[in-house]
A and B are shown apart, each in its own frame.
Chain A
């Protein structure tokens, strides 16, 4: 039974709750609930109309059952009925039910809105507040549509009660957040700003939240609020601790309102008006001064409220970043908190100092606390606090303290919580690279990272060390020596083997003069790890081995033996087997010159954003890191071309696509007559497209003549995969755009003129987006449609133009026919222009199975027993277009001795014969 039963206390409800509490088991509870649900259902369905009280009680029970975690699928109608009750408590329960169990049922929303409308118009403040609460709680678009223009009126009307104004302000805020487009700006907005002057503190408290939100969206329109906010804040800050009566909280005047006002001011730069600015600075100083005064109460509520204002004031000071005096005072204040006995304050001080560290005015002041922060990293008992300490060390790091901070972080790593190890690894790697004065320190640091926390060293980190070693010849010898030493350890992390393998493969020669690290010693050392490693590492090591054969000819016999052994050359893994076979062959047939060319030292990597930094950004969200980077950029410019933070810009997608005029004379510029289908002219929109087709794309394109799926394009950033299917004169193509980097692509716009589903303009790092094209072949054609892809990667615009792998043979319908039919048709197509013939050299091994597969992929039927020579291939098919059909016969005669083919095509249309012959001849 309840200790206190206030108000009316629905007895039936209390009994039910007691019953539930007395249930000994989950099963018993469920049984009791089901019984109750059945009871309520029957009451709701019963013939006897329920009175308001019963309805309220049952609705309340349903609510209770819902809160226990059970689904409720009825009772909404009864709740809606309660809304129109004129008894306050019934209405109230009805609204509560709606607020907690929002239902998207549009029928119901209309009824709810009706009830709300009536209550808003009732002029009864309690009813008005209830309905406003409901809108604020549900905040759906339908409600915004219904009330977004009404509520501003209520808010600024002269005769509106204060409590209604408060609810109206926050209700409007909620609607503005969900549907800003539906809230009309107008005359009311200027009057809202003046609520900052309202006599009622509650009204100001509610209104500031609304005003802050409006300011963020339209700073210019609401500029006047700055001076009003400053004077309001000033009045609060300078008031005696009892002036504000019930708005004073544990001797702190209006803490919530103060925090909100300080937050509002953070929407703007420092005030231009000197008087306003002076007043504000005075306020901020007063707040800082108060922090030094002895507390007016020992209660934690007092200090929390006071410090809440202090921290918000510091945020504002950091936001302005223009008052050195205030910044340094803020920093000192936070410094005191770093050693406070309250864990909460230590946590917040570390967090807040992180942002101070990026200001040029306070960076040095923050640095003076380094020992305290290091101590926090070592001794704090709460991992969330240690995490803040690590963040702060990262933020305060510069060239002067990098070695100390990196070494502290490294030693912390040995005992760090698993949850934050990866992040610490990334931070150490970034700092080491950024502040490396000599690169041997950098190499040592990264190898230490691998040694201490190998499992948490992501690919990005060890790729990066290799990139840097390759790009800087002054560190290569040292790197080779160090990895060689590190690999001596009996158990070393696989990542160490990877880095070691790669670096020795490139620069092992630099230490080969020392007999202790002679070529064979190096090889044996690496090979002793080989069997413990995963496939990918072993693959890497095999490449190291072939590089060794080039670097050190004397190792050739040993390495060839290894490559030749069954465990390599017959390895179950295709990749390993292939590498073994190819490297073995390469090493035995290639001359020294060829070998030296093929296995030349890797060229320097292009400098771009550090992949590690990108990864950390991804982990922490873009804002956090770039803020830190921005502040420190100046100090690191000389190293590695700097690490530029990327800024995000989004743009609207224009996934218009241009596909398939599919006419044989494309360059007319006139659009295909609209046939009401999906297709639009490809050529009129991209006249210059062919000029700049991406390199290597032509080869890829040709590979799609005989197949429908595969990778159409790939470079370092982007991979485009294709899946397509064709039937008669129709086709569907799926394009998959894969981002191979860890950085977002922005403004991603593949352009064709076809109706396709829009493509998201942002492709996240490592993510793939898909685009579907529907294709119809209107007439026969030679030139494939083009696609142009533009996107932003980092700061630069990438622009790629490709031929879409849609060729006329895709619309083949295979045709089976007996021998005599074939010859009969062959003879019918005997006009010289109907035939196209080509004799060409084989580019691939002349395997009849492969040839068959290609011809089938080309789309024709393969006709057996037609050609008297069994080595020859004969095929037939009909090309289906919307306007015409073109019958095709083909004959392919391989000549193994000469390694040549003769291909003959006969179709009813000259251009088609030529084009097909052209396409197919490039396939063998």
Chain B
């Protein structure tokens, strides 16, 4: 008997097929990951707007949703609940939105590490860890505060650093 159902991986990519975020909850080789990504991005982009948000793919189920220029795409197992997964996507988008203040693709590109941190607070090991928006963002903002403190304590960066030459 399988030990448990869970998410397999998450991909976030743009309408142009550019991968913006990826998270794998099962161990796979880099080669396999790239192959899956390529195939899946193609499959999802080929779907028309009115089609349903679920599709069978290999022996997995893909749940995806498009927000503006971004596709959020989760792979779950056959017996998993599709609708709740769809709302996992939405809650994640809400979290990003709240954190960045009406999030756009650029936020995720430039602050990919934050997108990862938020994801880890929300979902851990492929399972929902904390669904409260308040609690998730509290954890992230606490970290940001620690960061600010640290920054103030540091000496000013050199001019070279400021123009990006280091």
**A residues touching B (Cβ–Cβ < 8 Å)?**
1-9, 11-12, 14-17, 19, 21, 39, 43, 53-54, 60, 63-64, 67, 69, 71, 87-89, 92-93, 96, 99-100, 126, 129, 133, 136-137, 139, 163, 166-167, 170-171, 173-174, 176-177, 180, 201-202, 205-206, 209, 212-213, 216-217, 246-247, 249, 254-257, 259-260, 263, 301, 304-305, 307-308, 311-312, 343-344, 346-348, 381-382, 384-385, 387, 621
CB pair A133–B112 under 8 Å, yes or no, is: no
Bits for B113-147, please: 1 = Cβ < 8 Å to A, else 0: 11011001000111111111111000100111011
Nearest-CB distance from A499 to chain B (Å)?
32
CB pair A6–B144 under 8 Å, yes or no, is: yes
Q: Decide: A255 near B87, CB < 8 A? Known: A166-B129, A205-B131.
A: yes
Residue of A nearest to B108 (CB): A2
CB pair B125–A139 under 8 Å, yes or no, is: yes
List A contacts of B3 (CB < 8 A).
176-177, 180, 213, 216-217
Q: Does B92 contact A (CB under 8 A)?
A: no
Q: Decide: A174 near B125, CB < 8 A? Known: A71-B30, A92-B117.
A: yes
Nearest-CB distance from A395 to chain B (Å)?
16
Nearest-CB distance from B166 to chain A (Å)?
6
**A897 and B116 alpha carbons, distance in the complex (Å):** 91
CB pair B135–A67 under 8 Å, yes or no, is: no
Q: Decide: A166 near B130, CB < 8 A? Known: A177-B4, A343-B52, A348-B82.
A: yes
Nearest-CB distance from A160 to chain B (Å)?
15
CB pair A133–B124 under 8 Å, yes or no, is: yes
Nearest-CB distance from A219 to chain B (Å)?
10
Residue of A nearest to B94 (CB): A301
Q: Does B35 contact A (CB under 8 A)?
A: no
Q: Does B67 contact A (CB under 8 A)?
A: no
CB pair A202–B147 under 8 Å, yes or no, is: no
**A163 and B138 alpha carbons, distance in the complex (Å):** 11
CB pair A173–B87 under 8 Å, yes or no, is: no
Q: Count contacts between A and B, CB distance < 8 Å.
A: 227
User: Which listed residue (A7, A167, A305) contacts B147, Cβ 8 A?
Assistant: A7
Q: Does B106 contact A (CB under 8 A)?
A: yes
Supply 6 A–B pairs (Cβ within 8 Å), ascending by A. Answer: A173-B127, A177-B3, A202-B130, A249-B91, A301-B87, A382-B52
CB pair B4–A173 under 8 Å, yes or no, is: yes
CB pair B132–A216 under 8 Å, yes or no, is: no
Nearest-CB distance from A571 to chain B (Å)?
43
Q: Does B161 contact A (CB under 8 A)?
A: yes
List A contacts of B133 (CB < 8 A).
246
CB pair A3–B104 under 8 Å, yes or no, is: yes
CB pair B50–A381 under 8 Å, yes or no, is: yes
Nearest-CB distance from B76 to chain A (Å)?
12
Q: Decide: A12 near B109, CB < 8 A? Known: A133-B124, A137-B125, A166-B130.
A: no
Q: Decide: A67 near B22, CB < 8 A? Known: A6-B99, A88-B150, A301-B87.
A: yes
Pick the 5 closest A-B CB pairs, nearest first: A15-B164, A308-B83, A2-B110, A308-B84, A174-B125
**A137 and B117 alpha carbons, distance in the complex (Å):** 12
User: Which listed residue (A3, A11, A69, A301) contacts B157, Cβ 8 A?
Assistant: A11
List B contacts of A256 (CB < 8 A).
84, 87-88, 128, 131
List B contacts of A89 (CB < 8 A).
143, 146-147, 150
**A44 and B58 alpha carbons, distance in the complex (Å):** 42
CB pair A247–B27 under 8 Å, yes or no, is: no
Nearest-CB distance from B14 to chain A (Å)?
12
Nearest-CB distance from A732 to chain B (Å)?
32
List B contacts of A177 (CB < 8 A).
3-4, 6
Nearest-CB distance from B150 to chain A (Å)?
5
List A contacts of B144 (CB < 8 A).
6-8
Q: Decide: A305 near B130, CB < 8 A? Known: A17-B109, A87-B150, A89-B150.
A: no
**A93 and B146 alpha carbons, distance in the complex (Å):** 14
**A4 and B115 alpha carbons, distance in the complex (Å):** 13
Residue of A nearest to B154 (CB): A53
List B contacts of A255 (CB < 8 A).
84, 87
**A171 and B124 alpha carbons, distance in the complex (Å):** 8
**Chain B residue total in the interface (Cβ 8 A):** 73
CB pair A247–B131 under 8 Å, yes or no, is: yes
List A contacts of B124 (CB < 8 A).
133, 136, 166-167, 170-171, 174, 206
Residue of B nearest to A89 (CB): B147
**A73 and B48 alpha carbons, distance in the complex (Å):** 39
CB pair A202–B132 under 8 Å, yes or no, is: yes
CB pair A137–B120 under 8 Å, yes or no, is: yes
Nearest-CB distance from A385 to chain B (Å)?
6
**A3 and B101 alpha carbons, distance in the complex (Å):** 9
CB pair B142–A126 under 8 Å, yes or no, is: yes
CB pair B86–A206 under 8 Å, yes or no, is: no
CB pair B116–A213 under 8 Å, yes or no, is: no
List A contacts of B163 (CB < 8 A).
15
List B contacts of A1 (CB < 8 A).
110
User: Which listed residue (B1, B19, B130, B162) contacts A205, Cβ 8 A?
Assistant: B130
Q: Does B34 contact A (CB under 8 A)?
A: yes
**A305 and B88 alpha carbons, distance in the complex (Å):** 10
Residue of B nearest to A90 (CB): B150
Residue of B nearest to A2 (CB): B110
List A contacts of B146 (CB < 8 A).
87-89, 126
**A517 and B146 alpha carbons, distance in the complex (Å):** 93
Q: Decide: A308 near B87, CB < 8 A? Known: A64-B112, A96-B116, A259-B81.
A: yes
CB pair B110–A12 under 8 Å, yes or no, is: no
CB pair B113–A384 under 8 Å, yes or no, is: no
**A177 and B25 alpha carbons, distance in the complex (Å):** 11
Which residues 48-64 in B have Cβ within 8 Å of A in the complex? 48, 50-56, 59
**A316 and B48 alpha carbons, distance in the complex (Å):** 33
List B contacts of A257 (CB < 8 A).
131
User: Which listed residue (A17, A209, A254) contacts B4, Cβ 8 A?
Assistant: A209
Nearest-CB distance from A194 to chain B (Å)?
19
**A71 and B133 alpha carbons, distance in the complex (Å):** 35
In the complex, besides A11-B157, A256-B87, A381-B48, 10 extra interface pairs with C-beta distance below 8 angstroms are A7-B144, A8-B150, A11-B161, A11-B162, A17-B109, A88-B146, A88-B147, A167-B129, A308-B84, A343-B53
Nearest-CB distance from A143 to chain B (Å)?
12
List A contacts of B106 (CB < 8 A).
2-3
List B contacts of A301 (CB < 8 A).
87, 90
CB pair B125–A173 under 8 Å, yes or no, is: yes
List B contacts of A87 (CB < 8 A).
146, 150
Q: Does B42 contact A (CB under 8 A)?
A: no
CB pair A344–B113 under 8 Å, yes or no, is: no
CB pair B142–A12 under 8 Å, yes or no, is: no
Residue of B nearest to A66 (CB): B30
Residue of A nearest to B55 (CB): A384
**A89 and B81 alpha carbons, distance in the complex (Å):** 35
User: Which listed residue (A7, A202, A213, A312) contacts B129, Cβ 8 A?
Assistant: A202
**A764 and B83 alpha carbons, distance in the complex (Å):** 35
**A301 and B77 alpha carbons, distance in the complex (Å):** 22
CB pair B112–A206 under 8 Å, yes or no, is: no
List A contacts of B107 (CB < 8 A).
2-4
Which residues 14-53 in B have Cβ within 8 Å of A in the complex? 19, 21-22, 27, 30, 34, 48, 50-53
User: Which listed residue (B5, B22, B84, B113) contacts A305, Cβ 8 A?
Assistant: B84
**A311 and B106 alpha carbons, distance in the complex (Å):** 36
Residue of A nearest to B127 (CB): A209
CB pair B130–A63 under 8 Å, yes or no, is: no
Nearest-CB distance from A393 to chain B (Å)?
17
